[in-house]
Structure 1
Amino acid sequence: MQVKEIKSKGLKHEFQVTVPSTFIEKKMVERLEYHGRSIRISGFRPGKIPLDVLKKRYGAAVRNEVIEEVIKESNQKVIQEKNLRPALQPQVKINSEKEGADLDYVMTFEALPEIKTPKLDKYSFEKLGASVDKKQIDKSLKNLSQGYKGREDHKPDHKASKGDVVVIDFDGRLEDGKKIEGGSGKNVELELGSNSFIPGFEDQLIGSKAGDDVKVKVPFPKDYHAKELAGKSAEFAVTVNKVQKTVEPKIDDEFAKKLGIESAEKLEKIISDKLKDEYARMSFLLSKRAVLDKLAEDNKFEVPETLVENEFNVIWEEIKKEHKAEESNPKKKKTEKSEDLEDPKLKQQYKDIAERRVRLGLLLAEIGRENKIDVTQKELEKAILEQARQYPGQEKMVFDYFREHPHALASLKAPIFEDKVIELILQKAKINEKTVTFEELEKAVIEITQGDDAE
């Protein structure tokens, strides 16, 4: 085999590879003889079929197999000898593969850069943290109790106000007296102030009492989904059957037992532990961004253009989907202007993001490799289980999907690996811990995550 490097510019490499025809023919004979042991051809005993007969019948197919195998082996040999690591599978252009002639082809690829990893103990980072206080526990308990609210009737003379629930019968008709299809109901529960009905409908029930009959006059919005009603005026005959108030449950042992927890004290402990986990996650997100920003600032090296282009295409497809969703959103204000996807400055912005992601990904991978960081089977199984929990009743389908699709499993493995490398960096770096309020911690997280694709 002869190898000639015809291009070497930065990370781009191009090699011309020539494999002697004698080597190809030898491989073909070996492959034909191997297949000949099991092939059955009328008039010949198994294993005794002449080579020229095998070649005539199967030569073309076997030659393709051999060429593919030889190119794969030759590429691997060239890469090893040149001590290079391709960023992606090498591209191959065959110049000659005719029978009796040498195999001549060109292999092109971008190599991964040589990365000099930084000394991790030279870094120092501020770590924000917040303590769980009674105020946050009480707020979480209150939010939890909202799903278990009850209702009870107000006194007969109570006048309905916002926040009350009225139980009504109603019958709606247009100005010409025509009955509105779907515009009537019996014992319908309506929370005043919820804006569940046509604008203005609920306001006219404020001040009503149980047993009242109310005439509600409202226009349908001009952009109402039913075009035959859009912009038309209507009148609803409404009977108020009940006026009810919302009753929040008392957070006590009885409430805890409804949730399958033995006591209110135990419930508070569970809430407190969940908040601690959430605060720790938020703190890690902030630390992770600080680490990534510092690594990006300190480590400049050439990255493979193909990897950047692939990453940009992934980002850009998401941007286009979001843009399409915005354009088709009927609630979007006419004065709003979405990003111009043809703007070269916008594309360059996202290409810069793609390059940052690729560079950080390569750097973190190298740090992880040097420190022998890996994702365990147990960690992967936990990640799959978390995915499966999002689809109750379809858990087996989720597990089967990840088992049958290695690329999907890799998409779960990548963020776990990345977080483990970040944790390693934080362990080796100097950390200045700072306690802040939950509100300050939350604000800091929002600032780095809201509308930010830089990670």
Structure 2
Amino acid sequence: MEYRVEKVSPVKRTIHVTVPAEEVDASLSATIAMYGRDVQIDGFRKGKVPASVVESRFQKQIYNEATTELVNVHINEIVGEMDVNPVSRIDFDGDLLKRGEEFAYQLSFEIMPEFEMPNYEGIEVEEEEPEVNPDEVQAVIDRIRNQMAELEPISEDRAPQDGEVAVIDFQAFDEKGEPIEGIKAENFELPLGEGQALVDFESIIKNLKTDQEGEGEVTFPDDFLNEELAGKKVTMKVKLHAIKEKKLPEVNADFAQKAGGFESVDQMKEAVEQSYLQSRTQLTRSQAQKQLIDKLLKMVDIDIPEAILERHMNSMVEDQRHRMEQRGKSLESTGKTVEELREELKPQAEELARSEIVLLTLAKKEGIEVSEQEIDFYFRQIAARSGEDYNQLKQLYMENNLIWAVRDKLLADKATEFLYSKAAVTKVPPQKDDATKGDEAVS
């Protein structure tokens, strides 16, 4: 076998392969012999069927399998000699083997771009010191108190107020006065003033007293979960059965024990603070690592293989589709076609692709590897979080040829940590607007 490498682009190669007739005949003979050991044909003992009979009876299967086997052997040999890592599928362009004839075909695939890795040791980056505001800890305690509050009826003859819970029946009606399916409930407990219901709907309730009925118009927002009602106006009829107030538990040792098995309130506050610190530390470290990668990307000029870019765009589109479906909406409800969305996401996908290429190149340069145990641990973590069966999850990835994507992700993560370990990191005070970042602590 002889081959010639054609450099179609910086990241695409076409391999022109020529196989002499002797190798073609040997490959066909080997496949025929394999068939001959197992086939059962009337008039012949198993394993004693003449090669000519086997070839005549199973010619189509034999020539297909012999071609595939021979090409696969060549692929492994050629890729090994070229010392490249195809990042796309390998496309075959050729016919089937023909006995006694030379066999010529082409292989096309994309590879990682070749570029000179800049000096990545000592890159300067600032990392914020993690900090926890006492008010944040108190906010978590208050939220837990609110969750553990007991509801007690209010006997006072008045309308409900924010901070209280209204026990109601309600039903929505369309412009014809017909009830709307799915917008109905009985003895529903609705906390008021917490943003759990539309303002117009709460206004109807706040104008009622116990055992009174009322109605009013409510306009659903354009992004309402039920697309059929999004942006529409309906009549909502409500009956108020009772008003309840929340009795918050005292913040004492008993409260701490019930909230999370803590021995004291101080121990509980310390656990909340440590949870904040841990998540903040991970966040600020990730931000510093992102800055490092961005600085490294500015030092290189990279051609992005189409296969890597497509993979990132496809993944981002599917992630957005999944998020929309979790909200009860479809991707089409955005008013954009998939192609328009892909074009919108392309710059972000290009950045992710360039980051992946640099990190995987760094991993190769430094001899960073991922073990089978690390891959198994990754799947066990995913299975534990999602509740899926570990074996079935891993098998699904194997069947769909996605194991390599997991390996590359873990390699990139390791390369990121390596890059961070070589950086000149300067700790700086947190930004003022970071002091009240969202609740990363346990609740």
Aligned to 1:14: 14
- Residue 204 in structure 1 maps to residue 207 in structure 2: yes
1:435 aligns with 2:438: no
Could you tell me which residue of structure 2 aligns to residue 254 of structure 1? 254
**Hey, what's the Cα distance between the residues in 1 that align with 2:312 and 2:96?**
34
Distance 1:402 1:131 in 2: 39
TM-score of the aligned structures, taking structure 1 as reference length: 0.76
Task: Specify the alignment match of 2:121 in structure 1.
Answer: 121
Shift of 1:126: 0.4
* Deviation for aligned residue 1:443: 6.1
Which residue does the alignment assign to 1:400?
Answer: 392
Quick one: distance in 2 between partners of 1:184 and 1:306? 49
Letter in 2 for 1:218: G
The match for 2:141 is 141
Deviations, residues 327-353 of structure 1 (Å, cap 9, x unaligned) = 637xxxxxxxx668777xx86664343
Distance 1:127 1:199 in 2: 45
- Does 2:25 correspond to 1:33? no
In structure 2, relative to structure 1, the CA distance for the partners of 1:339 and 1:128 (3 Å cut) is farther
Hey, what does 1:328 align to over in structure 2?
333
Counterpart secondary structure, 2:298 = helix
1:96 touches 1:104 (CA, 8 Å); kept in 2?
Answer: no
Separation in 1 of the partners of 2:273 and 2:207? Answer: 44
Contact kept, 8 Å, 1:165 with 1:244, in 2: the verdict is yes
Q: 1:335 corresponds to which residue?
A: none
Conservation of the 8 A alpha-carbon contact between 1:130 and 1:437? no
1:435 partner letter: P
Structure 1 residues 17 and 170: CA distance shift in structure 2, 3 A: closer
Do the aligned residues in 1 keep the contact of 2:32 with 2:51 (CA within 8 Å)? yes
Aligned to 2:91: 91
Partner of 1:362: 357
CA separation in 2, counterparts of 1:139 and 1:131? Answer: 15
Q: For 1:349 and 1:85, how far apart are their aligned partners in 2?
A: 30
Cα distance, 1:123 vs structure 2? 0.6
Which amino acid counterpart does residue 293 of structure 2 have in structure 1? L
- The secondary structure found in structure 2 opposite 1:120 is coil
Residue 104 of structure 1 and its aligned partner are, at CA, apart by 1.4
Q: Which residue of 2 aligns with 1:272?
A: 273
Helix, strand or coil for the counterpart of 1:92?
Answer: strand
Question: Per the alignment, in what secondary structure is the counterpart of residue 31 of structure 1?
Answer: helix
Q: Pairwise CA RMSD of aligned residues?
A: 4.3
* Residue pairs, 1:158-197, within 5 angstroms: 160-167=160-167, 189-193=189-193, 195=197
1:258 deviates by 1.8
Q: 1:86 to 1:401 in 2, by over 3 A?
A: closer
CA displacement, residues 8-52 of structure 1 (integer Å, 9 cap, x when unaligned): 443333232221222211222233234323433333334333222
Judged with a 3 Å threshold, the aligned counterparts in structure 2 of structure 1 residues 383 and 135 are, in CA distance, closer, same or farther, namely: farther
Distance 1:67 1:173 in 2: 68
Q: Deviation per CA, 1:383-403, whole angstroms, max 9, x where unpaired?
A: 434433444xx44x3542224
CA distance in 2, matches of 1:168, 1:274: 38
Q: 1:378 to 1:267 in 2, by over 3 A?
A: farther
Q: 1:442 to 1:380 in 2, by over 3 A?
A: farther
Which residue of structure 2 aligns with residue 49 of structure 1? 49
- In the aligned structure 2, how far is the partner of 1:127 from the partner of 1:181? 53
State the SS of the aligned residue for 1:216.
strand
Look up the match of 1:422: 416
**Cα distance, 1:84 vs structure 2:** 3.9
Cα deviation, residue 325, structure 1: 3.4
Matching residue's letter, 1:71: V
Q: Deviations over 1:56-86 (max 9, x none)?
A: 2234322221111111222333334444443
Report how many aligned residue pairs link the two structures: 423
Shift of residue 125 of structure 1? 0.4
User: Does 1:287 find its partner at 2:279?
Assistant: no
Higher alpha-carbon deviation: 423-432 or 137-146? 137-146
CA contact (8 A) 2:170 2:236 kept: no
Cα displacement (A) at 1:305: 3.2
3-state secondary structure, aligned to 2:330: helix
1:387 equivalent in structure 2: 382
Contact 2:166 2:244 in 1 (8 A): yes
Equivalent residue letter for 2:366: N
Question: Which residue identity lines up with residue 400 of structure 1 in the other structure?
Answer: Q
Alpha-carbon spacing, 1:247–1:113, altered in 2? closer, same or farther (3 Å): same
1:62-73 matched pairs, under 5 angstroms: 62-73=62-73
Return the index of the structure with the highest Cα Rg. 1
Are 2:173 and 2:236, in contact at CA under 8 Å, matched by a contact in 1? yes
> Which runs of no fewer than 5 residues in structure 1 stay unpaired?
330-337, 446-455
Residue by residue over 1:172-206, the C-alpha shift from the partner in whole angstroms, topping out at 9 and shown as x without a partner, is: 999x999999999876544444646846411312x
CA gap of 1:77–1:63, structure 2 versus 1, over 3 A, is same
Give 1:326 shift: 6.5
Larger CA deviation: 261-270 vs 309-318: 309-318
The answer to whether the Cα contact below 8 Å between 1:130 and 1:441 also exists between their aligned partners in 2 is: no
Question: What does residue 263 of structure 2 align with?
Answer: 263
Determine if contact 1:129/1:441 at 8 Å carries over to the other structure.
no
> What TM-score, normalized by structure 2, do the two folds share?
0.78
Q: Supply the distance in 2 between the matched residues of 1:232 and 1:276 (Cα, whole angstroms).
A: 47
Change (3 A) 1:14 1:386: closer
